[in-house]
Structure formats: C-alpha cells, structure tokens
Amino acid sequence: MVKNYRRLIMRMVMSSEASEVVILERCWIVEFRSKTDVSIVLKFQSGEPDLYLEAASKPDCESWAVALGEANSEGLQNKIQQLRRLIMEIKEERSSDEARQFLPSSQVDSLGELQFTSIQRIANEPKLEFSLACKDLVAATRDRKLNTFIQVSVVHPAEHILTRYSSTEIVEGTRDPLFLTGVTFPPEYPIYEETKIKLTVYDVKDKSQDTVRTSVLPDHKEPRADVGRSFLGCTTFRVGDLVKSKEQQLTLTLRTSDGGKTVGTIEVNLVKMGELEDGETDHITTDTQDQKCALVRECTATEGISGKDNLPSLNAVLKNPICKLYRFPTSDNKWMRIREQMAETTLSFHVPKELINLHIKEDMRRNQELKDLGELAPHWDNMRRSVIAHCDQMLSMYQDTLAELGKHTGSSFKSSCSKGEKTLEFIPINLHLQRMHVHSPRLKDALYDVITVGAPAAHFQGFKNGGLRKLLSKFEAERRNTGYQCIYYSPENTAKAKEVLSNINHLQPLISSHADLLLNSASQHSPDSLKNSLKMLSEKTELFVHAFKDQLVRSALLALYTARPGCVLKKPAVPRNTAEEGGDDLQHQDHPSQIKRQDSIPHHSEYDEEEWDRVWANVGKSLNCVIAMVDRLLEKDNISHIKEGENDPSAADCKLLHTGSDWYEQLYPLVITLKDCMGEVVTRAKQSMAFVLLQELACGLPQCLMLTLRRDIVFSQALAGLVCGFIIKLHTGLHDQGFLQQLHTVGLLVQYEGLLSTYSEEAGMLEDMAVGISDLQKVMFKVIEAKSEDFLPIITGRREHYIIEVQLPAKMFELLPQEIKEGKLLRMYPVLFNVGINEQQTLAERFGDTTLQENINQENLELLKEYYKLFTEKMPPDCLPHFQEQNDLKGLLENLHQNIQAKKRKNVEIMWLAATICRKLNGVRFTCCKSAKDRTSMSVTLEQCSILRDEHQLHKDFFIRALDCMRSRQTQGALNESDDPETGCLTDNKPTSRHFYPVALLLVSSHLLVVWLILSLALLLAKYQ
C-alpha cells in the first residue's frame, strides 16, 4: 500500500541548518502508541501530503509531539487570548476568598506609617462614593449594540497591588450607558487620596450566560477562557483628583490595553448623600427603551435623619458593613439616591452566650433545690436520683457548648453551611441588618430597616418527628397518662412554680438588705432615713407575701408530705383563718413574742394542713409589728424633741444619743423575727415548688429535657434577632417623641415574615419558629445609662421571664422620656405570618397539608388586632405621624383578614399587607426563610423597590431595572459563583438573579409536575443506592 507522505528525521542538533520549513496550521498529530515506535505523523486539512517524522528515541518522540502540539497556530492564538485576559483582568498575586475583603490590620498599620492623606468624611459615613456613566463607546462591529458593565479595581498605594472591588450592573443595547449602581467604600476601608481606582469596561456577549466574578482570583486558579464578555477599554484616576475637583466630577478617556486607541469616555461623579450639587442641572438622555426619559440631577440640602451621638453604641452592635449605592429616577425625572447597607451584628454570639450562662446557673440552682428536698420515700427518692443524673448530663452539655463558643474567632455570624453544627446550634443563621437609606430631591431622608435571619430552628436535632409545636403537644398528651408514677401538674402550674422560685430568689435578698438599712437608720437616729427604709421594706415584703398567695403552694406542701416516709394526715379541729383575716388582724398583735413559730415540715408525725397558712401569715404580722414600733418611736421622738429643745438644747442633744441606742434595741428583735419568719416561708415554699418541678421532669425523662434543650436553642436564635432589632429601632427613633411614647405606653410590635414551606423538613422548621417567636412575648426590655464603654446588652432572668437591659451613652439616655429613664419595662408583641413560595410549597398545596400555615396566620392575626386595639386606646390621636392613616390601618387589617380566610395558594399579598401594617405602627420588620439568602433576598429587594415606588415616586419604567440592580449577583461582590446560596451545592453558569417562583413552568400543567416528581424520585433513589 503506497502512502502519500514525506519523511524527515528529527535530530537534536544545535547548529544544523533547516532542511524544510513546515507551517503548522489546520493540522493534527497522529502519535503511534507502540512502545518501540519512535515516529509521529502530521496530517493537514488542506489535503497536502502527510508528514512522517521519526525521532531517535521514544522520549524524544514524546517531547516532539508535545512541542508540535503547542506550536500549532490555533494553540498559539488561544495562548495569546489567555495572556491578553491575564493583562486585562490583572491577576492578583495574593489569594483572597471574597471580593470586598478589607486589608489585614498589619497592612493598615503599614499604610498609617507611610503618612498617606486621609479623606475627610463624616464619622460612620462611607469614605468615598461615586457614580459612573459612559459615552460614545466604540463597538467591535458597527451593527453591534453593546451590553456593558464597569469593573472597579483599587490600587493600594503601599503595595501597588490591584484588587478587584466591585462591578456595576449590565446596561443593554446602548453605547452611552448610564449605570444606576454606584461605588461606595465603607468607613473601615483603607482608602486615601493617593489611592488609584481603575475602571475597566466590558462588553457582555450573552447576559444570561455571564458569570462575571468580582472576587479576587486565588493564586492557583486561572480565569476561564470564555466568560462571554470582551474587553473594551480602561482608565485610572487618583482619589484625590476626584475629591479635590471643583465640579466634583472627572471625565476620563477610555483606551485599549496598549494605550493607543480611544474607545469612549467615562464620567465619574462624586456622591454625597443629602448634599447634592449646586449649579446647572445635568440632563442625560439615552436611546434605549429603559432610558428614554431625561434624567435631571439637582440638589437641595436636607436634614440629617439621626444624630451622631449614637455611633459608639451602635458600632458596638454592628460590624463589617457592606454598602451599595444606587441612583434611580423619580416620576418627575429627578434623581433620588439610595444607599443599601448590610451589616453583621456581634449579638449573633453575644446573646446566645449570655443565655447559655443563665441556663447553666438556673439548672444548677434547680439541681440543688432537688437535692434539698430532704428525705423521701424510696419510690420518690429513686425518681429524684434519676432526674438529677439526667439534669447533670444536660448541664454538662450546656457547659461544653459555652466553652466551645468562647473559643470561636472569626466571623460574627453563622453561615448557612454551618446550620447543622452542634457547637453552633444556639447561634442564629445569617443574622444581618438590611438598611435602605433614601434621599429624595423633595422629600425628607428616610431609613427602612429589615432584619434578615434564618428561621429559628434546631437544625442539628433534625425534624424527623416534627418541630416544637407538634412535639410539645404530643409530650403534654403523654404526660397526662403517666399513671401512678408521678403527680401530674398542668403547664400553667409548672410555670407558676418557676415564677414562685424566681420571686423567692429575687425578693429574699432585697428584704434582708432593706431590713439591715432600717436597723442602720435606727442606730443613727435618722427619722427621714428610717421612714424611707421602712417604706422600701414594706413594699418588698408585701410583694413577698403576695407571691405565695396561691393554692399551688398549699397543695404542693401536702403532696410533698405524702412523699415523706411514714406520713400521717390530720384534719384541722378548728376553723381555719384565711390569709386575708390574718392580714386584717395584724395590727392587734401586742408583741412578736406572741407569734407562734412553726417547725419544719414533719416527717414521722401528724401533718396539719392549716400549718402553711399560719407560717405564711406570720411574715405579715411581723412586718406590722415593725411598722407599729417605728411609728411609736417617731411619735415619741417628735414630742420629746419639741419639749426639750425649747428648754435646753444641750439636754436635747444628750437625749438624742440616748434615744438612738434605744431605737436600735427596740427594733432589733422585731427585725430578727421578721427575717426568721421569712426564712421559714422560703424553706417550705422552695421545697414545695421544687417538688412540683420534680414531677414535671420525672414524668417525661428524657424527652422533657430534650424538649427544653430544643426550646432553648430556638429561643436563643429568636432572641438574638429581637435584641438586634430593638436596639436598631431604638437608635433610629431616639428623636421621635411619638415613637418613644408608644414604646413605653403600648409596647413594640415585632413582625416576622416567614417564607418556609409546609412540606417535609421545612414544616418542622416552621413549627420550631412559631414556638420560638411566641416565647418572645415573655421578654421585657429596659433601657439603662451605660457606665462604661461597653454598650453590649445585659440579660437577666430565667426561662420564660427574661429582662434585656439596653445600655445607652449619657447624651442619648437624656433624650428618653422620664418613664423609660426610671426603668419601666417595655413589652414586645411578636407576630408571625408565613407564606411558602418555593417549589416545595407547590407540593404541599397539591399533595400535602397547609393547615399549619393557616393556623399560624390566623392566631397571629388575632395578636396583631389586639396590639392595634391597645394602640388606639392608649395613644393620643395626634401623637404619631402615621395616625392620620387610622382608617387606612383598619382597611389594611380587614384586607389582611380576608386574605388569610381566602386560603389562596401562595398568597404573597399576606406578606405585603403585614409588612405595611408593621411599618405604619412603627414596628420592627424581620424576614426569614430556611437560610436567609435566596428567598429572603428576593423578598427584601422586592419590598425595597415597592417602597421606592409607593413612597418615593420611583419612575414606573425603572421598577424592573431597579429590582435587577438590587438582585444582581454581579454587583454584590462577595458571592462565590460556584456557591448555591440556598443549598450549598456546587453549580456552574448560574443566572445573575433569582425569581420568586423557580418552578413556574411546572405550574402550567399537572402532567409536567408528575413527570418532575418521578424523575426526582428516581434520582434520589439512585443517589442513595
């Protein structure tokens, strides 16, 4: 067989002459796989004869094959394109995970040492903000309409390293793009007048496939060869040139990479929120459908929305802000500017750690109270031993969790990928403040805050058996059927027992302290001090006495006695006196020695059921004796002081010293008797209430403790968000007297918007979330003046009764009403409205059950109506700026009621109505989904654009574009393109934005839905096999 080929011998000769020149274009290499063959063949697409090449050895043959492959013209063109991309993209020499990563502290220190010129800005305001626009861009071909965006990079003056910082949105179909997304540098960013900003303009070929990265490329990663965009031009400017320019504007020329060809111009305008430019207006008219209106920039001075004195305390709560700047046209063709800020909060870890510490102390007290019950019958003693053993295990777990949280360093929030970690189960997921600051040309500046957080739920424990709502109901039903093993007490009685124990621990030391102050005033013969001490002692003792005015204590004492070995009951032989009768006859007691003191609860003797009434009444009788003695002493002192002071002043002084010792001697035995009687009551009450708690724990071991743990976890996550929302709202409304009056008169409305489905695990999350938010009703807030530079809130109390003390600097504290300054407790009214919006909710509505969502919405509608009723009853008509919309509020509530009753599928109108009512009632807004990312961000951005349209006259033609700007993944700067925000899965070529209904196509036909279900089930089975 004759082959058409040429044969050459490949020799590695340094000085040999070329025998033939071969053009390696449109050819490929055929390498023989035989171990002995040392030849290769070049085949040409043009039909030229094959070229047969032979080497001296097999290694030489392989190296020639590689060299010829790399020398191919197409391969060289690919390399040239890659090098050009490296030049254009400026591959950084240092690795970084996020786009807007700040410089490390060491670098910041080095910048400070080089004496760079700082930018003079208002405290806590962004250091630098500017907007961008291009003109007369040159396309590669005449007929092509450009789809452009600008990538912003920063050249740090100390290291001369360029870092990609952010990008604008993509503007389609114009050579004069006006970018609505600006650039903003937060206060902490190390930027100086010497810093250089590089602006690079790209043309996106296919917007749907664009995967622009704004993050810095790690050293070990190369940029992709084809990302669907092409380089147009770039330019660089110094920050100082922009800041010092008279017109606060720079017009720069865009040039190609070699600096030769001009491809257009770019305008950089310095932005100052609330401080617009003077002089002529700037009309920018574009030729695209989205930009037809003439956009006018004009300036008016506006008032600041809040004082600057709150910065230290607010900075103690918020950290690592990420800002975005937008400019949108209004319906009358004026510019309004929007600054969008997202910030982490230190409360994500501070509040859970404080709570866990309180749980540990509370559980240690409970364990000690169980041990102090004394001798019990064998059955009850064995039960107590089992309970204490399980409680010690749970206590150890809480201590281990607190120790692990104490070791935590790094981010101040828990990301969604960590929601299943045991050591972080008390920490809320993705707790952030989402703030929108709007500056309109003819309206006052406005702030709109939304707290975004993952649904409070026990992810580590799972949802196989449902969430708290279902588990608590099941547990209570099982506890009723425990039979003879333990005594059943209702949840209300159990809560009452915990309240009694809390009151004992709170009031006993206060009464003892005031009693000592009374004796000290008597020894000093100070009538005024004696009166004040007696007043405080009387108030606290009255509270102490009324704390035990409950049948539960009496019945628990009897139950405890029956649990003693060898108990014998005795019926009373005489009619018993009521507590009120004992209290009315206290003033007829002659002397405390007549009060019969009772021994401790008998173990082997007869038990008198009336004994508790007498012991309890002795405290009040002892107090009345103290009051009578003080009145008698003060009366005698006044008479003797008047008579002897008129005759002989020196004799009156001698009498004064003698009377002081007499006061102390006469009051001392009465005060000691009061303390003894009080100690008697405390001992009996503590033992009886501890016995009630023993029944609660013993009836459901270990489920009871596991439910308590789960409830603590969910409550911890919910409380961290609530504390953050309250502090932000308090700082925002410090100058609003109507809001402050509403705060201490009615309380604060806290509205949660849930986006969870009622299908599979998310139904369990919703059950957890509903219970956690309901538990927030038992939280009270108190505002105190800070005594140090530590402004973090202080948490006190116990389960089901917590007080959050919010610290304010002295200047801010003085702005508060007198009622709040005096320590009045502020109530919270949390409400939850949930509407599932994802594909899982479609399954629940078609094949599952949505009763859980309907019941939650109906229950919380009643709570919202109750708050509105209190609001209208207690607040004056002219107090609040929104009160003139009272009729609108009634209409909104009625509309919300109708939508909830309608039971419409995926009725997002419920969320919009609830959010509107909350804002009109000065409430705090929360938005939650599984991880506070995809669904939450879609909801928040839609709400923000709707507010701009309804409240600030956003131009109707720009609503969708404004929504795209806020939702664009390209402009966020901190998202990794391979990270799926909701599931954590690795995906490629993700779209730049998400939509509310990702499976809208499936809703068209039920047949498609069935096919999708079958395929999903098949994939799931294949995965687990």
Spatial neighbors of 983 by CB under 8 A, at least 6 apart, are none
Whether the Cβ atoms of residue 835 and residue 907 lie closer than 8 Å to each other: yes
Helices (H), 345-421: 347-371, 378-406
Among all residues, which ones are annotated catalytic? 929
DSSP helix/strand/coil, 169: coil
Q: Residue type at 687? A: Q
Which one-letter DSSP state was computed for residue 839? H
| Listed residue (280, 206, 192) closest to 244, CA to CA | 192
542: region left, alpha or beta (phi > 0 left; psi from -120 to 50 alpha): alpha
Structure tokens at 943: 């709400």
Sequence-ordered strand ranges (E) for 405-551: 432-439, 446-452
Q: What is the Cα–Cα distance from 314 to 731, expressed in whole angstroms? A: 8
* H/E run at residue 326: strand 318-329
DSSP state string for 850-890: -HHHHHHHHHHHHHHHHHHHHHHHHS-TTSSTTGGGHHHHH
- Euclidean distance between CA atoms 999 and 529, whole angstroms: 75
Strand ranges in 884-1022 using DSSP code E only, listed in sequence order: 924-928
Q: Which residues pair with 750 in a beta bridge?
A: 830, 924
Give dist(CA 649, CA 662) in Å, integer: 20
> 140: helix, coil or strand?
coil
CA atoms within 13 A on the CB side of 787: 3
Sign of CA dihedral 587, 588, 593, 596: negative
- For residue 827, the cross-strand partners are 780
The rounded distance, in Å, linking the Cα atoms of 44 and 65 is: 15
Classified as helix, coil or strand, 183 is strand
* DSSP annotation of 144: P
With contact defined as beta carbons under 8 Å apart, do 325 and 184 qualify? yes
Enumerate the β-bridge partners of residue 178.
133
Alpha-carbon span 602 to 618, nearest angstrom: 19
Instruction: For residues 415 and 412, give the distance between their C-alpha atoms in angstroms, rounded to a whole number.
Output: 10
**71 phi-psi bin (left φ>0, alpha ψ -120 to 50, beta other):** alpha
- Residues in the chain, total: 1025
Residues 6+ apart with CB under 8 A from 144: none
Instruction: Print the SS3 string covering 519-585.
Output: HHHHHCCCHHHHHHHHHHHHHHHHHHHHHCCCHHHHHHHHHHHHCCCCCEEECCCCCCCCHHHHHHC
Q: Decide: helix, strand or coil at residue 329.
A: strand
- Between CA 942 and CA 799 the distance in angstroms is 38
If phi > 0 it is left, if psi is from -120 to 50 it is alpha, else beta; for residue 101 that is beta
Cα separation, 754 vs 914, in Å, equals: 11
Using a CB cutoff of 8 Å and minimum separation of 24, what contacts does 984-989 make?
984/416, 984/417, 988/211, 989/209, 989/211
Report yes or no: 242 and 248 within 8 Å, Cβ to Cβ: yes
Spatial contact of 429 and 345, defined as CB atoms under 8 Å apart: no
